[in-house]
Each structure stands twice: as structure tokens, then as C-alpha cells.
Homo-oligomer: A and B are copies of this chain.
Amino acid sequence: MKFTDVIQSADWKAEKHVPVISAPETVKAGEKFNVEVCVGKEIAHPNTTEHHIRWIKLYFKPDNGKFAYELGTYQFDAHGESAEGPNKGPVYSEPAVNAFIKLSASGTLLAAAYCNIHGLWESSKTITVQA
């Protein structure tokens, strides 16, 4: 078995688990830019003690390179857990983050997301770097 057998993909407008990558089409080499990664952009995913998005990981695969680089790991750690019982706690982390990246080569951003009961999901987005 391989990860390709368990990492799921779909249209994020129809399937609430798919991570959505929002980034510019084109950026300048070495200039900081913003990437938003989130789950549930169109259809909200549940955020309860029993069912929630644990993390999103963001990678970059340069066009002229063989390997993917890990850019960031964003964990969403609060889902209403509490000593008073599930979903009684005072805090929730939404499965979304804005990150800040610098690139010096064109390539593809890849995101993976993990739901604690529906497993792994992925998406990608190409990005062009101007010298």
C-alpha cells in the first residue's frame, strides 16, 4: 500500500475536506508573499472535540528540482475539549492560516490536510516566480 491509496482529492467547492491554497499566480523572486491555506472555504468542516481538522502541511516542488520542500506545518489544536466534557471548552482553532513565504524558483505548492476521522486530503497550485 502507498500513500496514493489513502490521500484523497476532490473539488474543494463540493468536498469540505480539501485544503484550499490561496496565493498569487506570480511572485517576485525573494519577495515575501502571503499564502492562505484552509479547509472548509466553501462548505465549513465540523470543529468538535470528536471531529475536526488536525493540521495542514504546505510543500513546494520546484519545476527544476526533484524533491518537495516542506514550507510549514499548521496544527489546529483546540476543538472545545474540556474537563467539563467534550465541546464545553472555551476555545476553538479554525482550520485556516495565513503564512509568509519567499521563493526563488517557479514550481507547485502542495497542501495536505488531515481530518481525525476522514483521513488525508490534498490539493496543489502552480506559482510562477519572476526574476
Contacts and interface: CB of A to CB of B under 8 A. Distances in A.
Contact of A92 (B85, B91, B102, B119): B102
Interface in A29-74: 32, 49-51, 54, 59-62, 65-74
How many of these chains are in the complex? 4
A112 interface: yes
Interface string A5-37: 111010000000000000000000000100000
Contacts of A78: 60, 69-72, 101
Contacts of A108: 1
A118 B91 CA distance: 14
A91 B103 contact: yes
